[in-house]
Amino acid sequence: MLNHSGLIGRIASAGMTLLAITSPPLGAAVLNVPADFATIQGAINAARVGDEVVVATGTYRANLQLRAGIDLRGAETARTFLRTADNTLPVIQTTNISNVLVSNFTFIESANAALLTNSTGITLANNVFDSLSGTAITVGIESVARIENNAFYRNNAAINRFTTAAVVINNLFAENTGTLIINGITPVDPDVNVSYNCFYRNTDLEETGIPGTNFQRGDPLLTDPANRDFHLRQASPCIDTGIGTDVIDDTVADIGAYGGEFADPTPFWLPEPIATNTSTTSPDIFNIQLSWDANESYLITNTVMPGSYRVWYQQNRSGPPFEGTDANNGTEPSPIDVGDVTSYRLRNLQPDVSAPGATVLVSATPQNQSVTLSWRAAAGAGGYRVNYGTTLVTENELDIGNITEYTVNGLTNKTQYIFAVTALTQPVYYLSVTAVDSTPDQNESDFSPAVEIEVGNPVLGPMSAELRATPSEIVPYPNLPDDGCFIATAAFGADWAAEVLVLRQFRDRYLARHAAGRAFIAWYYRNGPVAASYLNEYAELKPLVRAALWPLIALAAFLLGSGTATQLIVVSLLPVIFILLYRSSRRSGRPA
């Protein structure tokens, strides 16, 4: 006699076991790649039934083994790319698993994108398969799948299904060599479970005809497939001709990658806009004219219900975020909703930037009709201004780039010039544009690449200390100059040698300011020419003299480039140093 209570108990127990296997656990999680896991496979392996792996925008090389009950989704269809790591394997594969959704990816630069083997409840939705050299999707004979709202573009083969249990619905097929492959061993009727698809210029269909029912034919008017934008333009035959409902605008489903219940609502981002400085002077009114290319998706560029654009901006720091507040005298903070236009003028900006630090002018090196200036970089500098003149340093000014050495040309030889350098910072604006669709949710694209533009008057830091230099023709030894650096000129070969110039600046800035230093200079002028002539006659001694001069050159360079406190300490010792040198040379009867 059958024990009904025992049978019922066993059925209930089996039902609970099945429920435990197939139902997602409480607290299903989202696992983010690469924020939480470095690789997609790592996230899939760590997930539990019911979890979702979400992949951020970017390009990922992988051969993925999917797991039962774990969905895989790209963050943005147009910018989340999957490509194979090993081209002998498909990008994704299911083997003996069930209940998986793969959506919102673009598959590129691979042979085969997906292989479904002995798997059930597999849905591939709202993906783009672009220019694959093999077969985009292969569905094995023991598999049950739903291929829905995908775009197949210029593939060798779009779908190879070994079973009519693979439902093909709401897909867009454009310019593929093969569309629905009929397997030669176990032929599958191409019309069964194939409906509401859109076909355009597929090679094999020129002979076999369009498969399935309720299909659309004709140019789908893709927005920009060359740049992987597979949104639809206005008047596309694929708009509102699918089956089901669009999650984006709650109308009849579009055919293709951006229709149906799993569609990514994000509009395609815009290329970098063009910015033009349209400011005026007298009075200063600072404006920027910004223009950009239209987003051609029908949900944005639409003659009946157009979308719009937002202009984002901020000063002196690239974004995002773009948090500018000063447009139109502070009444148009970022972002500015500008409507259905492709250009906009930001008026009455208030450019402002902090002043840079002080510049230390290290050297002014005279040459033939020119002087080369060298200075230390100043904190916060975006560029530099060189001032020079013969009487006042402010007689001439040159704004140059963000460099620390510059040669002033066109000077008059044998004329002394005064030089100074000032750091400056130019206010800079960074601007971006986003597209917003016409749906009630006003879905917004990601930021366009930012454009930067200088607007406003430069802000100057403190002017450096002045240095003097006299350009002159380059005359190598033995023609000795009359500037007084006789021995150094003979030792180093020319009066424009860097070592000679350092000693000359050291003489002018430090020795000439002290009585002991001036006494040493006078003595040196009397004896230096004799020593220089002797050195020119016996050139083999020059390396020894150069070695002897290097400590003094190093000391001079240190003082010329050091801070004020260090200079005061060392300068206080100079009289003692040069008195000792002077007395030593007097006792020896030889010039220093």
489 contacts 477 by C-beta, under 8 angstroms = yes
Q: Kindly give, in sequence order, each residue whose CB lies less than 8 Å from that of residue 39, ignoring residues fewer than 6 positions away.
A: 33, 62
Distance CA(139)–CA(28), nearest Å, equals 29
Q: Can you say how many angstroms the Cα of residue 337 is from the centroid of all Cα atoms in its chain?
A: 25
**In whole angstroms, what is the distance from residue 53 CA to residue 43 CA?**
7
- Given a contact cutoff of 8 angstroms between Cβ atoms, the answer to whether 296 and 420 are in contact is no
Identify which of 29, 36, 26, 103 has the alpha carbon closest to the alpha carbon of residue 66.
103
Task: Name the DSSP class of 460.
Answer: E
**If you count them, how many residues does the chain have?**
592
Contact 314, 428 (CB under 8 A): no
pLDDT at residue 10, as a whole number = 34
Give the global pTM.
0.72
DSSP bridge partners of 363: 374
C-alpha–C-alpha distance, residues 306 and 530, integer Å: 90
Element (H, E) at 351: none
Per-state percent for the chain, helix, strand, coil, to nearest 5: 25, 30, 45
* Owner of token pair 């435990």: 20
Give all domains of the chain, ordered by start, each with its CATH number. 28-232 (2.160.20.10), 274-353+429-454 (2.60.40.10), 360-427+460-468 (2.60.40.10), 474-588 (no CATH)
What is d(CA 386, CA 384) in angstroms, rounded to the nearest whole number? 7
| 338 bridge partner residues | none
The stretches in the chain having pLDDT less than 70 are: 1-27, 183-186, 474-502, 510-514, 518, 521-522, 524-540, 542, 546, 550, 560-592
Residue 60 C-beta-side C-alpha neighbours within 13 Å: 26
Q: How far, in Å, CA of 443 to CA of 310, rounded?
A: 12
List the beta bridge partners of residue 153: 130, 174
